[in-house]
Each structure stands twice: as structure tokens, then as C-alpha cells.
Amino acid sequence: MKYVFLPIQKIGLEVRHQLVEKARRGRYMKRYYTRKEAGLCVHCGAPAAEGKSLCPACLEYERKRNSIFYGERKARGECINCGEPLTKEERQRGNTMCAACREKRNVRRRKKKEAQTV
């Protein structure tokens, strides 16, 4: 086979981007699992909290960030997952997620359950 040099433009930015992303994710996931297995915080490498993959400081940070983020959406009457405005009935029922996200969550839960029983 004759070796043909392909100019980078011909490979396509999309493909290159995918390759870079894949490599980066691979490295990140490797570190993630190494730390997790060693019982270290996957964010900063400090000793993780009991039964968690994050250290107490990172847990607190995540918790705060999430509660601010979700709290804001909830207060505005928006889905905490995708930010879509909730209907009046949903808000009255105390739902924090829109129908689409609730359905998605149900599917995920069902799949998880199935995976566990197998």
C-alpha cells in the first residue's frame, strides 16, 4: 500500500477532536479509577470520605454547588435537570423535574435494577 500523506484539514476537525477527547477522557478515567481504588478523592487526591469517592472538602463543595444550582432552578419553577419551565400542575404536585426528565430517570432506574438482578 502506498503511503499517502493526508493534510490535517482532510482528516477533518471532527475526527481529530474525537481522538483528542478520547485520549483525554481515557487519561482522566484512569486517574479516576486509580484514585477511587486507592480510597482517594477523585478530584484532588486527598483521602476520601468513608464510602465516598470524594474527600470531605470536595463533598461539601459539590453539595453546596448543587444545592445553589438546583435551588435556583427550583425557585424559578424549572426542571432541576434540564431547566425547562414546569407546568402549573407539576409545581403544585411538588415535582422538581419535567415529564421528559422524570421518564428518563425512570428508564435509568429500571435499567439499573435489571442490571442488578442479572
Interacting residue ranges for Zn ion, rule: CB under 5 A: 41, 43-44, 46, 55, 58, 79, 81-82, 84, 98, 101
- Cell digits for 97? 423535574
Residue 49 burial by Cβ neighbours in a 10 Å radius (0-12, 13-18, 19+):
middle
Question: Whose Cβ is closer to Zn ion: residue 43's or residue 91's?
Answer: 43
CB of 36 to Zn ion, least distance (A): 12
Distances 22 to 5, 15, 25, 34 between C-alpha atoms, Å: 23, 10, 5, 18
Question: Whose Cβ is closer to Zn ion: residue 26's or residue 47's?
Answer: 47
Question: Whose Cβ is closer to Zn ion: residue 21's or residue 60's?
Answer: 60
CB of 85 to Zn ion, least distance (A): 10
CB of 12 to Zn ion, least distance (A): 33
Distances 86 to 24, 54, 58, 67, 90 between C-alpha atoms, Å: 37, 32, 31, 19, 6
CB of 84 to Zn ion, least distance (A): 5
Question: Whose Cβ is closer to Zn ion: residue 21's or residue 103's?
Answer: 103
3-state secondary structure of 10: helix
Rounded CA gap, 118 and 113, in Å?
A: 9
